[in-house]
Structure 1
């Protein structure tokens, strides 16, 4: 794992190389990682860590680039804005504010205050510097990076996850305890949702047949880039892929190794120690066809082809990508065929030409 090939095959079809990814770089860490994000160019990866630091990696060079410390306020859910030098992240200490940071000189640009409990989700709009935040205070707030005041607010019971669709015209809000996903027209977010997907019967069915807890650890919500699918990642023994238009389940992505031990954003955190929640360990590939995920409590990654065997409820992985490390957070580079995963080590994965 000492070399990172300069060519990252940005034009190669994902289907041609999806089974060939192998770890190319490994970076050891004294603490665990809880979130991961790529900038728009795909050149940089941003990771939040449980030691109250944020780590920046240059994926093009295959090198660690910078460490940012947030000892006073803690950090979670670190996200790039559309300016790769600027990031937002949620505080985990002192208050429940969201901090807007310029990494160039490590100075705060703005604070977004108002949440009265832990922030569980931050989602950037694909087309602007607007973003969504969800919190245990039962609100979802809409923000503009240019203003410290929220542009809007929705009140929910236990809405922990948010997502924009690729066109930035629809927002999805998920309430794991209610086992429901709501879809809103962004221009009319103050009106009733135009669709709601109730997964109670679906989850009940899989809890009986797969030994999972109902609403077990919903950890992530993501639209595929082609707009066809909606991924509900869980810390349980599988993930859900829904039709983004009608909410019908396309597949239950079964993890043969079972559940993970990682806490989801809405889970109750221990009163002491550095244990915290993690974002999803599953993500779509840029073409929207594949889902990459951590392998439960095992090492390596799993891959599912969500276009395979449509109509078959339970889908087993089409491939297992081997490594010597587990993954609690996973992300697929938006511009290049490169995957990043992390638990206590950061792994950069590239297609193996051999």
Structure 2
């Protein structure tokens, strides 16, 4: 099988992350169900290759290279944003395969940066000063407003799929609902360790994951002040498969775009794939090389004398759905893997990866482009993955 050579960015003094605008990457668009598509995910899932590597060459004076905390794409899939442990935000142009700009948040820190539905506006959680969420325009690096209310660190931000409503989870045992157009919260839920949240693809339902209770709760977005309309007991559904991460170590909560499945990522030996209608376990996605060393949502740092390390760094989760909801892409200590969720049967709940995508770099954070056959992984370096046209 032919391979695609890695394109390593060369030093460029004009770009903090040393991007190069030379040639465009050959990215193929993937469209929704029933629409013509140049390539379906099934056609390319096994052919992805690490194609572009970004290294932070601006790190000098003996400072360690930062860790990438989160990855997020804008709605058109043209921009990729990282939040990093050196309190910077980096933005990349996907199709050109180059770094676009760097934004600093040295005063407040930054994690979990998310695009709003305007590609030049973002929200992110603070790591210093206070626990406010900040709303920023990227074209002039100016704050629009702060969203204040949390009394402890934010553990997750989730954007509504159709408007600028969003949800924040916090270690203060609250889930707060917001609209980017006003600084005041639109509502709050008081729950025990509600560390993760996600909207379903319609935006009418959102889920909250509480690891200490072992539950995933589903709410009607318009009537969230009422009790959840569904309660999924992870301990009951998954205890026959994995007893270690039933009530701790949860890193990611995500609905598939077809609305049929929920992905509950863990830092353990595998991830849980749940039926979004009844909460039953559809599959346990077993990792080939063990768990992640990143902190789970809401997990406390451990003190050591070595400064920041991978095991003391938060992350946005090392797994995600493909655009069609059939596949789950996951990070490993060397590259990435792909699980085919259609490979499960009542007799085969434990799924091993269908494909292994090899690379020398760890993939502690993973994100799939919403519009193109393209995904990215990161730890300290950022890697772009594209299908090999010769495979």
TM-score by length of 2: 0.87
Cα-to-partner distance string for 1:24-52 (whole Å, 9 max, x where unaligned): 10001321101000000101001110001
Cα-to-partner distance string for 1:203-231 (whole Å, 9 max, x where unaligned): 433335xxx34434100100000001000
> How far off is 1:59 after superposition?
0.7
Cα-to-partner distance string for 1:130-161 (whole Å, 9 max, x where unaligned): 00000000100000000000000000011100
What is aligned with 2:75? 40
Instruction: Give yes or no for contact 1:4–1:25 (8 Å, CA) kept in 2.
Output: no
Partner of 1:280: helix, strand, or coil?
coil
Deviates more, 1:95-104 or 1:268-277: 268-277
> How far off is 1:124 after superposition?
0.4
Equivalent of 1:27 in 42, 54, 61? 54
1:337 and 2:373 equivalent? yes
1:147 and 2:182 equivalent? yes
In 2, the alpha carbon distance for the partners of 1:114 and 1:216 equals 26
- Structure 1 residues 265 and 44, CA gap change in structure 2 (3 angstroms): same
Cα-to-partner distance string for 1:244-269 (whole Å, 9 max, x where unaligned): 00100100000121111111121111
Instruction: Give yes or no for contact 1:125–1:168 (8 Å, CA) kept in 2.
Output: yes
In 2, the alpha carbon distance for the partners of 1:213 and 1:146 equals 38
What is aligned with 1:7? 26
Deviates more, 1:251-260 or 1:199-208: 199-208
Equivalent of 2:141 in 78, 102, 106? 106
Instruction: Give yes or no for contact 2:25–2:97 (8 Å, CA) kept in 1.
Output: no
In 2, the alpha carbon distance for the partners of 1:270 and 1:6 equals 41
1:348 and 2:384 equivalent? yes
TM-score by length of 1: 0.96
> How far off is 1:5 after superposition?
5.4
User: How well do the aligned residues superpose, as a CA RMSD in angstroms?
Assistant: 1.3
What is aligned with 1:233? 265
In 1, the alpha carbon distance for the partners of 2:157 and 2:345 equals 31
1:220 and 2:247 equivalent? no
What is aligned with 2:93? 58
Pairing 1:292-311 to 2, within 5 Å after superposition: 292-295=329-332, 298-311=333-346
1:319 and 2:343 equivalent? no
What is aligned with 1:176? 211
Deviates more, 1:146-155 or 1:27-36: 27-36
Pairing 1:272-311 to 2, within 5 Å after superposition: 273-274=307-308, 275-295=312-332, 298-311=333-346
What is aligned with 1:164? 199
> How far off is 1:177 after superposition?
1.1
Instruction: Give yes or no for contact 2:282–2:344 (8 Å, CA) kept in 1.
Output: no
Q: Any gaps of 5 or more consecutive residues in structure 1?
A: none
Q: Any gaps of 5 or more consecutive residues in structure 2?
A: 1-5, 8-21, 30-36, 57-64
Aligned residues: 349
What is aligned with 2:280? 248
What is aligned with 2:62? none
Instruction: Give yes or no for contact 1:254–1:316 (8 Å, CA) kept in 2.
Output: yes
Which structure has the larger Rg over C-alpha atoms?
2
In 1, the alpha carbon distance for the partners of 2:89 and 2:69 equals 10
> How far off is 1:313 after superposition?
1.3
In 1, the alpha carbon distance for the partners of 2:204 and 2:375 equals 27
